[in-house]
Amino acid sequence: MTRRRWIADEASGNRAALTGDHADHLVRVLRARTGQEFDIATDAMVRRGRIVSIQDGRVEFELGEEVAASPPLDLTLLLAIFKFDRMEWAIEKCTELGASRIVPVMVRRTDAHLAASSLKRVERWRRIALQAAEQSRRAAPPEIASPIKLQDVVSLPPAALRILLAESKPHSLLRDVLAAHPAREIVLAIGPEGGWAEDELQLFETSGWVSASLGHTILRAETAAITATAIAISELT
């Protein structure tokens, strides 16, 4: 039977702990008991953990043998901010698929109310990513960055294959671009509802990004994010 995996809030030596709501979920929802074993991910590795102490808001584990874990992938998503319920869905599913970094980006067509509220949503997005990482047996959740303006991130020096997903002009399919430019680090830019503005497309072009398409149909932003992530992960694994 596959053991449930948890990402430790604290770890030192051969001990680790879940704290706060994280611990309460294990105890109250999953009825955890002393002596039960789970896989526990720490910064260094994944190890088998046995519950040795349960307190209010805290579950402590004794760590044992190392458990094999998949190597982390290097896929960053620049995700233009869109409706929060759909964005949460995209963050959850892209985490499950294996994205290593998600950067919420404020662009021209981001609703002003969403842009203003986005800073308050970061902690919720991080909780969603943590839960999705544990559900999918990852060793660590993706980094969820604080929202940033597009011009502050697009022109950064390239350290990876940078791909703009755009449907306004004919482009090569994403899978063909990835096949033609093998890379171990990939950055994908996913646009907002309504697509990228013309000046943003020009900014990407002058900054050296490669353009790609997901096909002839127009996808919702969350569908595009999930689809592009799945295609990119298949090339990285």
Check for a shared fold between 5-67 and 74-236.
no
pLDDT beyond 80 at 69? no
Q: Tell me: the pLDDT tens digits for 150-163?
A: 988 887 667 689 99
Residue 156: its pLDDT value, please?
Answer: 66
Arch. (CATH architecture) of 74-236: 3-Layer(aba) Sandwich (3.40)
Between residues 157 and 57, which one has the greater pLDDT?
A: 57
User: What percentage of the chain carries pLDDT values higher than 70?
Assistant: 96
Residue 77: its pLDDT value, please?
Answer: 96
pLDDT beyond 80 at 71? no
Residue 44: its pLDDT value, please?
Answer: 64
Domain spans of the chain, in order of start: 5-67, 74-236
Q: Provide the pairing of β-strand 101-106 with 10-12.
A: unpaired
Q: Quick check: 2 and 34 in contact, CB under 8 A? A: no
Q: Distance between CA 62 and CA 128 in Å, rounded?
A: 26
Which CATH number, 1.10.3720.10, 2.40.240.20, 3.40.50.2020, 3.20.20.370, labels domain 5-67?
2.40.240.20
Complete DSSP assignment for 100-153: SEEEEEE-TTS-HHHHHHGGGGHHHHHHHHHHHHHHTT-SSPPEEPPPEEHHHH
Q: Tell me: the pLDDT tens digits for 97-142?
A: 999 999 999 999 999 999 999 999 999 999 999 999 999 989 889 9
